[in-house]
Structure 1
Amino acid sequence: MSELEELVGFLDNSRPEVRSTAAEIVSGLTASPDGIEKLKSLQRPLVTKLFRSVGLGGDASRKCLVALVNLSQDPSLADLMLELNVVNRVMELVREGSSPHVDLLTSVLANVTISEGGSRQLLQIGQGNMEGLHMAVLLKKFVVGGITLSPGESDPYEHVASVLTNVTRLKEGRQLLLQPGRGLLAALVSQLQSWNALRRLGASGAIKNCIMSAEDDGTLDAVLDDKSLLPHMLRPINGQEPLEKEDTVRECMAEAVLMLAGTERGRDALWEAGAPEALRKGYEDEAHAGVCVAMERTAEIFLSHSTIDSGMSAPVVGASSAARQEHETGAARQAQVQIEEEKE
């Protein structure tokens, strides 16, 4: 037996101190690509024993979960974990509340759901009455945490936001969030004002996924029927304090607004929500190229439909001098020139 095999064998040893020492060494190895490559020769018994040790509790439990989080970042090892029923194992621990390390458990879920296969397993697609139960549990804990936690407090369910971004790449995941009467979308958009950046990032990605596919999915009405959605979406890009610091959040929301503006009912809803003025103010000091381009294209759509859809005067996104200097190239410049021509 090699030293590595002996080390892995100690992970589920009956003596807690032995398990803890072995887990510390293994978690250290998983912290580097070279270490992970060495462990791949024993990947199946390694993953099995790591999960077994998590179930045994004690000091080794968190170290083993750290190792699993690191290992699950490797696509081939994430696939192995899915084969070994990682999703159901993690969800059993989450549902029972038997592990104090929910942050790491949800980190594993965030990693394995990057693949379509992982997302489908978490959504329990094809499992009849079981479909969506895992996600219902996660969503409830995620939303409750967003309400009850104070700024700066430890947020064990923050990585569920990344899971939501992952699963909403699938139609089944989007449909789950948009189920009538469940209020899941309203709960999700409320996270755009969370003090936790990870929650805002994940929520914005999931909302964007739902909106970008709404026409194809036949869910546009379900999106727009939620009157709380648009004010929350416009808030990160309207230039009002407190400003949204994450470029990704602002870009996701600007692109989602652009997609809605391309539909007749979406434009009407955006007019009603005051989107033209919100975008004008937000654009004045916006420095991110992707956000600016999305706003400019939205303004073009409003300009071209202003007399047809609403009869209102045309909204114009004005460019600040700083934004001009930042974006006088490529598509951004082209879009800006078109807007200025309309203004003249």
Structure 2
Amino acid sequence: MTVSELEELVSFLDDSRSEVRSMSAEIVAGLTANAEGIERLKTLQRPLVIKLFRSVGMGGDAARKALVALVNLSHDPAVVELLLDLNVMNRVMEFIREGAIPHVDLLTSLLANATISERGCKDLLQIGKGSMEGLHMAVLLKKFVVGGITLCPNDPDPYEHVASVLTNVTRLREARLLLLQPGRGLLQALVSQLQSWNALRRLGASGALRNCIMSAEEDGTLDSILEDRTALTHMLRPINGQPPLEKEDTVRECMAESILVLANTDKGRDALWEAGAPEALRKGYEDEQHPGVCMAMERTAEIFLSHSTIDSGAMPGVLGMASSSAQQRRQQEQQEQQGKEQEQ
């Protein structure tokens, strides 16, 4: 396809005839499905993105195909910058709030890609917009949580990509401070998703929680995080070894590292004692195989032991971690591997 043919194709994306828009959007979506096609479209990047957005707003069969193309294109940081120049966050959120575009899964996927950049995060959070700050995120959080409650397992989950958005935005200090404000409901929203049947929700929620907790002391948000003691119980569940077992290594590692960070603070350690963390960690550690999770658990146990100046019935559980079956198996495997290497 020549440059002039591509230009003609792009010009049809906002054609008044729905069938013409649909056909051209389908061809463009196909081109954006691979690196070669995206490269061929680069010379028309700005008019292409503008036309695709117009096609989305015009609805019909072309809308979903145009969104597919935009999601594919938004993996390129340069395209993300162009999208942000075109006010993508406000436009996408307008589509979501009004419900005029039914393809919420693609709209939220586009938000997830755009928030990989710091500028995208700030735009979505409306940083510096006064009373408007956090409004977009409040809308997304509400729809995210309600969707998690009302959907049945294996149902299509249009808001699952909001979990990735939360992971992205919580990398920014101003985002964490904004979203952890009393009444925002971020912490409750995140911990509620740790038991979701949807792995994407669990992965995103655990990543966002880890981001918030890792910087809690520096941000001055530790008290806000510890205020809701039930949140700690939810955070311990993925690593306590109790059914239903958490299958995703990343989720368990995020939670184990978060618990380790909290255990390194006086207030966090006290709260974890009250939540039964030593016993939960002991049980979870028995059959844990992931090195990163095990390391975080072991370091947490060392912290509890080094601060065990009070008598506690839970202490044998922490001490028991040192001789757990999981650790013994790993030591045996290491010895067998060393033996094989020596034989060679």
Does TM, scored on the shorter chain, surpass 0.5? yes
CA distance in 1, matches of 2:331, 2:115: 36
1:105-131 deviation digits (Å, cap 9, x = unpaired): 000000000010100000000111111
Letter in 1 for 2:167: T
The one of 259, 264, 274 aligned to 1:262: 264
- 1:184 deviation in Å? 2.8
Conserved? CA contact 1:23–1:60, under 8 Å: yes
Output the CA distance in 1 between the equivalents of 2:15 and 2:323.
Answer: 65
Residue 288 of structure 2 corresponds to which residue in structure 1?
A: 286
- Give the deviation of 1:216 after TM superposition: 0.2
Alpha-carbon deviation of 1:154? 1.0
Q: d(CA) in 1 for partners of 2:120 and 2:108? A: 13
2:127 is paired with a residue whose SS is: coil
The two structures have a TM-score, normalised by structure 1, of 0.92
In the TM superposition, what are the counterparts of 1:5-24 in structure 2 within 5 Å? Answer: 5-24=7-26
Matches within 5 A, 1:90-101: 90-101=92-103
Aligned equivalents of 1:28, 1:321: Cα separation in 2: 52
Give distance in 1, aligned partners of 2:165 and 2:331.
Answer: 33
Equivalent positions of 1:1-344 (< 5 A) are 2-307=4-309, 310-312=310-312, 314=315, 315-316=318-319, 317-326=321-330
What letter is aligned with 2:298? E
Distance 1:241 1:206 in 2: 23
Q: Report deviation, 1:312.
A: 2.3
Which amino acid in structure 2 is aligned with residue 290 of structure 1?
G
**Post-superposition offset of 1:89:** 0.8
Q: Relative to 1, partners in 2 of residues 1:327 and 1:115: Cα closer, same or farther, differing over 3 Å?
A: farther
- CA offsets, 1:50-76, max 9 Å, x none? 000001111111000000110001111
Q: Is the Cα–Cα contact under 8 Å of residues 256 and 297 in structure 2 kept in the other structure?
A: yes
**1:24/1:158 Cα in 2 relative to 1: closer, same or farther (>3 Å)?**
same
Identity of aligned residues (%): 75
Q: Could you say if the C-alpha distance between residues 194 and 7 of structure 1 is closer, same or farther in structure 2, counting changes exceeding 3 Å?
A: same
**2:287–2:325 Cα contact (<8 Å) kept:** no
- Closer, same or farther: CA 328–46 of 1 in aligned 2, 3 Å: farther
| Mapped partners of 1:213, 1:137: distance in 2 | 25
Matched residue type, 1:258: L
Separation in structure 1 between the aligned mates of residue 330 and residue 312 of structure 2, nearest angstrom: 31
Q: Deviations over 1:307-340 (max 9, x none)?
A: 1xx432632224545545547899xxxxxxxxxx
Normalised to the residue count of structure 2, the TM-score between the two structures is 0.92
Conserved 8 A contact 1:280-1:318: no
User: Which of 318-327 and 141-150 deviates more?
Assistant: 318-327
Q: Structure 1: any 5+ residue segments left out of the alignment?
A: 331-344
Letter in 1 for 2:17: R
Q: Deviations over 1:266-297 (max 9, x none)?
A: 00111111100100110111111110110011
Q: Which runs of 5+ in 2 are unaligned?
A: 335-344
Contact 1:283/1:318 (<8 A) preserved: no
- Secondary structure of 1:239's aligned partner: coil
Q: Amino acid of the residue matched to residue 235 of structure 1?
A: R
Q: 1:135 & 1:329 partners in 2: Cα distance?
A: 48
Are the aligned partners of 1:289 and 1:327 in contact in 2 as well (CA < 8 Å)?
A: no
Greater than 3 Å deviation, 4+ residue runs = 318-330
SS at match of 1:203: helix
Inter-partner Cα distance in structure 2 for 1:121 and 1:327: 50
The letter of the residue matching 1:82 is L
User: Are 2:285 and 2:326, in contact at CA under 8 Å, matched by a contact in 1?
Assistant: no
* Structure 2: distance between partners of 1:286 and 1:129: 46
Q: Report if aligned partners of 2:105, 2:160 keep a CA contact under 8 Å in 1.
A: yes
In the comparison of the two structures, how many residue pairs are matched?
Answer: 328
